Structure 1
Amino acid sequence: MKVKITSLKSLVLAIPALLFVACGSGSSKSEEDKKETTEKKLTDEQLVDVVQKETFKYFWDYAEPNSGLARERFHPDGNYPQNDAHVVTTGGSGFGLMAILAGINQDYITREQGVERLTRIANFLENADRFHGAWPHWMNGNTGKVQPFGKKDNGGDLVETAFLCEGIICVREFFKDGSEEEKALSQKFDALWKGVEWNWYTNNQNKLFWHWSPEYNWEMNFALEGYNECLITYVLGASSPDHSIKPEVYHECWARNGGGIKSDNVKYNLPLLVKHNGAEEYGGPLFWAHYSYVGLDPNQLADKYANYWDVNYNQTKIDYLYCVENPKQYKGYGENYWGLTASYTRSEDGSVGYTAHMPSNDRGVISPTAAVSSIVYMPTESIAAMRNFYENYKSTIWGPAGFYDAHSAEYDNWAAKRYLAIDQGPMVVMIENYRSGLLWELFMNAPEVQQGLTKLGFHSGKYGF
């Protein structure tokens, strides 16, 4: 079944080895899980810390060893079907930079360890392939050379670059007033961010385009129209000191000629507010409420099109209420087992692929990142899901870097015992925003970010602009 969703290049190409053997099975609550639950009942605070700390390992213990960046995926069993253990992901590495800051803030690592790792990352990014300042979707962690994401996708990827720059700006802000070594690190990251030629990716139109290739030029022709996960690309494009886009680019393309992005659709008595591309009845996969907002704080953030807290809260609540209603009667679904977003998936025949789970594309598979990363919007429901995953399904869903990427009670407790950077990263970062607000404060207090948001017509009661 094909999913009509106009933003997600990643869903077409992200898992080139589309089918491989399914893994993981067991009872709904094993004797091992029951024993552990009886022996040690974590408080909510302890549970949240355990999930954040273990998930952080993806970006620290299991990072690509040469570059220090995030692997596109991590297979604990070492069975990489594409021999891609050294493929690093640009967007996932942006989340990884923010995860390292969270790790320092929570004392999972020392400040000195963070500086050493981040210096290695900055040096790698300085020398890696760039295309008018934008990094590609994938790079080889040994060489820094582009690894094509698809035949024509072998150049700059502006959206992945935007996710990376969220992290770059946070690192710069975190260390800018530190020791001399830290100030030098901050300056390295500042130069990386300022080198992205956002305005060049308009192709002389009032649009931002996702891709450009030196071999295929603009042939992919993917204009970034809202609403999906790409809002941060416009915010950063407007914020760039040297390569800024005009406000018209945002209003005419993203907002669809100054307002076409707005929606009157309502589900479960909750207005969607914006048109979710290809998913207008219920809203899209939940990562649309996460990726732009790991740095961009939606609290009291609005422009003339929407209040973005309401956009994200309503989408999350609709996803939750859909899982509680459970119209397809999948096993396990309910108040403590919910969350539909892009992840690995399992088919009835046992084959495994990748898809954007959402109410309009419900396959009976729950993605832990969906509920966990939504902790900033619905903490009670998020922690309830976390506890259920951890206490009742731990033997199948929990691994060396936290919750595995996907789980299905419907299919005999199947779990995809693999990890993806773009799923692990938002869990660490959104938990940190829930606990301390660190990444939101770093990003939103960056002077050029506030200037860029103001330029596009945003205002924030929380940050005073």
Structure 2
Amino acid sequence: MIKTLTRCLCFLLLASACSSQKKVQNDDAVRLSAEDEKIITDVQRTTFNYFWDGAEPTSGMGRERLHIDNVYPENDKMVVTSGGSGFGVMAILVGIERGFITREQGLERLEKIVRFLETADRFHGAWPHWWNGETGKVKPFGKKDNGGDLVETSYMLQGLLCARQYFKTGNEKEKTIAARIDELWKEVEFDWYRNGGQNVLYWHWSPDYAWQMNFPVKGYNECLIMYILAASSPTHGVPAEVYHEGWARGGKIKDTVTTYGHTLVLSHNGAPKYGGPLFWAHYSYLGLDPRALTDRYANYWDENRNQTLINYDWCVDNPKHYKGYGADNWGLTASYSVKGYAAHAPGDGDRGVISPTAALSSMPYTPKESLQALRHWYKNMKDSIYGPYGFYDAFSEQYNWFPKRYLAIDQGPAVVMMENYRSGLLWKLFMSCDEIKTGLKKLGFQSPWLKN
């Protein structure tokens, strides 16, 4: 009873803090039927299991990939990912709230994950893209990419800060894990990744190759959360100029293009007409609430929704005449492809491959369209594209290609964004962080969360 009351009190406090959010609910929200609720819950549960039953056992972290068809080297099974595991941390919180696991089980798993993060290789506080989950030693993502990856670190931190907020008012064990997460957050040296004090953040740093990867991160793409966290850090924060001159390119991030009647006001890197792959509308917004979020450059809800609608309309229009495309079978994003891995997107990036995570993770933006695809896949295609950890990563009816493979960085957003559509859970947790509110204000953002 005491545990139940504590949990209820925690969420009453969160509910009070987000009362102003009522005015920014999606006007296009769909009233879910009992059947819809059942399907969504089942998909969330099985997809969550990627990070639960499918986790690497020593570290508790999410594996980079899991192939049910076993078409990858056996020694790849211990490779774990920082960004995908950050999404997995959020999925664990969903699992607790939905009753897939107990609060105690979730806490125990997070203790294992935090212990790994405290002892595994770090580089000026930032984690690498990949580790060996059994040893904590970096596994190079590429020859010179064997050090800190600030973008993937930011995805991990987004999840960890949600967990900190979830447990910080709990019992002593919960408060302890929240405090340990707080230390990890404060140890990330965002300011180091300015590469000598430049007004831009660099994606990579290596102890062997220093800045040779030479990747200053400029928008617009999936990396907004990194700049938000860098501005918000209480120990290694960066000034607003880093955001405005680096990410926003001195204002050149602004652009206006209308496709299928939907207007984008940001210059999407390499995809000016259609917007980029849909993960650009997902990864930074798993915790960062885009509803009524604005700055001098964009309304981020409108930008994400319009990008999603362009993606949807392209698949319905289907100018390349791929088999199976339509209103109930759409969604282009980065995923496995018929040949390797590709950032699928409207235009030249469309290769006839549908990635279920694209529509599922877009549910807050396009509930009607996302639910239509979900129902079709679940009811009519389940035998071909659904497995022990939810929908497989990608498929193509055009090429009769139905691999039984998963990627962490695609499974996590589906669980999280479906939950944000249902309850706003992760948005409430992340936006309740005082540091995030301070950082957003520093950068000139406006949001209902900043009015309290």
**Alignment-derived partner of residue 231 in structure 1:** 224
Aligned match of 1:254 = 247
Corresponding residue SS for 1:416: coil
- Find 2:329's aligned residue among 319, 337, 361: 337
Equivalent of 1:426 in 413, 416, 424: 413
The 2-side partners of 1:168 and 1:394 are apart by: 33
- In the aligned structure 2, how far is the partner of 1:149 from the partner of 1:304? 35
Shift of residue 462, structure 1, vs aligned partner = 4.7
Q: Deviation digits for residues 424-456 of structure 1, max 9, x if unmatched? A: 000000011111111000001100000001111
Give SS of 1:407's match. Answer: coil
In 2, the alpha carbon distance for the partners of 1:435 and 1:461 equals 19
1:128 to 110, 116, 120: 120
3-state SS of paired residue (1:244): coil
The residue aligned with 1:396 is 384
Q: Does 1:451 align with 2:443?
A: no
> Aligned pair 1:211/2:199, yes or no?
no
Q: 2:314 aligns with which of 305, 322, 331?
A: 322
What pairs up with 1:182-221 in 2 under 5 angstroms?
Answer: 182-203=174-195, 204-221=197-214
Q: CA deviation at 1:265?
A: 1.2
- Contact 2:328–2:369 (8 Å) recurs in 1: yes
Q: What is the one-letter code of the residue matched to 1:45?
A: E
**What is the letter of the counterpart of residue 282 of structure 1?**
Y
CA distance in 1, matches of 2:332, 2:137: 34
* Count of residues in Structure 1 that have an aligned counterpart in Structure 2: 418
Relative contact order higher in (CA < 8 Å, ≥ 6 apart)? 1
**CA distance, structure 2, for counterparts of residue 425 and residue 110 of structure 1:** 19
Distance in 1, matches of 2:272 and 2:402, equals 29
Deviation at 1:404, TM superposition (A): 0.2
Match of 2:288 among 282, 296, 301: 296
Residue 392 of structure 1: how far off its partner (Å) = 1.4
Any stretches of 5+ residues in structure 1 without a counterpart?
Answer: 1-40, 347-351
Structure 2: unaligned runs, 5 residues or longer: 1-32
Deviations 1:280-305 (CA, angstroms, capped at 9, x unpaired): 11010000000000010000100000
Q: Structure 1: how far apart are the matches of 2:301 and 2:106? A: 32
Counterpart residue number, 1:112: 104
Matching residue's letter, 1:416: P
Determine if contact 1:445/1:463 at 8 Å carries over to the other structure: no
Alignment partners' CA distance in 2, 1:395 and 1:180: 46
Cα deviation for residue 45 of structure 1 reads: 1.1
2: CA distance, partners of 1:306 / 1:270: 14
CA distance in 2, matches of 1:382, 1:297: 19
- How many Å separate the matches in 1 of 2:308 and 2:123? 35
Pair 1:464–1:144, CA change in 2 (3 A): same
Tell me if 1:90 matches 2:79.
Answer: no
- Write the letter of the residue equivalent to 1:318: I
Structure-2 residue corresponding to 1:387: 375
Preserved CA contact (<8 Å) 2:437 2:449: no
**Is the 2:131–2:137 contact (alpha carbons within 8 Å) kept by the matching residues of 1?**
yes
Question: Counterpart of 1:431 in structure 2: which amino acid?
Answer: M
TM-score (norm 2): 0.91
Distance change >3 Å, CA 248–CA 463, structure 1 → 2? closer
Instruction: Look up the match of 1:37.
Output: none
**In the alignment, which residue of structure 2 is the partner of 1:70?**
62
- Specify which of 130, 134, 137 is matched with residue 129 of structure 2: 137
Find the partner of 2:396 among 408, 423, 429. Answer: 408
2:100 counterpart letter in structure 1: Y
Q: 1:76 to 1:202 in 2, by over 3 A?
A: same
> Aligned partners of 2:74 and 2:232: how far apart in 1?
38
Shift of residue 415, structure 1, vs aligned partner: 1.4
**CA RMSD across the alignment:** 1.1
Contact preservation (8 Å) 2:354, 2:394: yes
Pick the aligned partner of 1:286 from 273, 278, 281: 278
Which amino acid is 1:397 matched to? I
Q: CA deviation at 1:270?
A: 1.2
Partner in structure 2 of residue 174 of structure 1: 166
